[in-house]
């Protein structure tokens, strides 16, 4: 009883003694917290900010806005908006009714509720927002100038990469060069196709001027954007315009000049074994301009940036795949009789 009363009295005395200084004691600035203001004052944090932008490029499925507790949205792969929507591919799957969103894409009857379209939109603008964080803040950082230049180039490349995916699917889209507040969002307008491509070209040209060549990276940094990747995507963006809406009045000479720059850099060469390009041994090979780097995990699906379900979707159903994206006879006929790539491409 005495010990209890003594403890209570001691607690009261301590509380009374500490009360006057309690506010000062609690109102301390947080230590070890990374904010946007200090993100680019430390090289490790700055690199991680860019890595977070690359991370979005690896999202082929997963929760809306990348929130593990958020609303789930469907898978999205480039072949869904490329091969499938042409006469090179049939939907496939377990039955004609399998995966409704793909039926909508294949028939070009796409409502706003299409889940694959939603995923592409959400993930792309998430990547753009992360890229803008780097682009708009890295110059004010205190990190090494060479690293600062490279990271900004990587972010510019990635912003262009995400916008390129968007313009191919949606045409003109809103163009964001900085963070938009909730009050500003309703006033954002949709750019034209030509304006969107011009924005992409501007970013890629700026990125090419800042980025190093492929051989300047250490082994651990393979997969990062390079000067060759920026120029390669610039040429690709121009080729898309030449084949669709050439609002920026490009010519094939533009493509030739840019691709000649990539070739003459001596950074790339055709891989001797075409089949190996699609195998582990062909990762980041001599002819690779840009590859999305995936992590590995043996714990089921794992986070959305761990591995990819792309191969499962396209694999034969007899080998436990889903059997989507089946080649058509039209695609088969495009190969010459003795083309060795045919046996690897058409399975």
- For 36-51, the pLDDT digits (tens) are 778 899 999 999 999 9
Domains, the chain, ordered by start: 42-271+282-345 (1.25.40.390)
Most confident of the ranges 95-104, 208-217, 297-306: 208-217
Residue 158 is predicted with a pLDDT of 99
Most confident of the ranges 83-97, 193-207, 315-329: 193-207
Angstrom CA distances, 190 to 116, 168, 183, 201, 292, stand at 21, 15, 17, 18, 29
* Structure confidence by residue, pLDDT tens digits, 142-198: 999 999 999 999 999 999 999 999 999 999 999 999 988 889 888 999 999 999 999
Residue 209 is predicted with a pLDDT of 98
The larger pLDDT score, comparing residue 74 to residue 242, is at 242
- Specify whether the CB–CB gap between 200 and 238 falls below 8 A: no
Section 93-101 average pLDDT: 90
Q: What is the pTM of this model?
A: 0.85
pLDDT band, very low/low/confident/very high, at 34 (cuts 50, 70, 90)? low
- Specify whether the CB–CB gap between 242 and 255 falls below 8 A: yes
**Displacement of CA 69 from its chain's centroid (Å):** 21
> In this prediction, what percent of the chain has a pLDDT beyond 90?
59
């Amino acid at each position: 009883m005495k010990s209890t009363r003594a403890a209570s009295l001691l607690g009261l005395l301590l509380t009374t003694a500490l009360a006057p200084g309690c506010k000062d004691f609690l109102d301390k600035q947080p230590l070890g917290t990374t904010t946007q203001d200090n993100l680019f004052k430390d090289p490790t944090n700055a690199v991680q900010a860019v890595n977070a932008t690359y991370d979005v490029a690896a999202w082929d499925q997963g929760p809306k806005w990348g929130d593990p507790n958020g609303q789930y949205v469907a898978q999205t792969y480039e072949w869904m908006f490329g091969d499938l929507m042409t006469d090179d591919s049939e939907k496939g799957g377990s039955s004609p009714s399998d995966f409704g969103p793909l039926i909508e894409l294949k028939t070009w009857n796409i409502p706003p509720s299409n889940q694959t379209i939603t995923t592409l939109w959400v993930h792309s603008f998430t990547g753009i927002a992360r890229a803008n964080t780097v682009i708009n803040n890295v110059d004010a950082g205190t990190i090494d100038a060479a690293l600062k230049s490279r990271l900004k180039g990587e972010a510019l490349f990635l912003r262009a990469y995400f916008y390129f995916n968007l313009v191919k699917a949606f045409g003109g889209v809103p163009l964001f060069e900085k963070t938009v507040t909730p009050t500003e969002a309703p006033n954002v307008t949709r750019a034209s196709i030509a304006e969107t491509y011009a924005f992409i070209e501007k970013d890629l040209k700026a990125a090419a001027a800042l980025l190093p060549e492929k051989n300047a990276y250490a082994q651990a940094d393979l997969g990062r954007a390079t000067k060759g990747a920026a120029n390669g995507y610039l040429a690709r963006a121009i080729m898309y315009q030449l084949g669709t809406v050439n609002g920026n009045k490009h010519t094939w000479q533009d493509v030739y000049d840019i691709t000649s720059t990539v070739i003459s850099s001596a950074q790339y060469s055709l891989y001797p074994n075409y089949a190996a390009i699609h195998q582990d041994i062909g990762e980041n090979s001599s002819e690779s301009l840009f590859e999305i780097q995936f992590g590995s995990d043996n714990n089921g699906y794992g986070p959305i940036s761990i591995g990819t379900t792309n191969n499962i979707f396209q694999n034969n159903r007899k080998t436990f795949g889903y059997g989507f994206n089946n080649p058509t006879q039209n695609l088969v006929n495009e190969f010459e009789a003795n083309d060795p790539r045919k046996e690897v491409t058409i399975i």
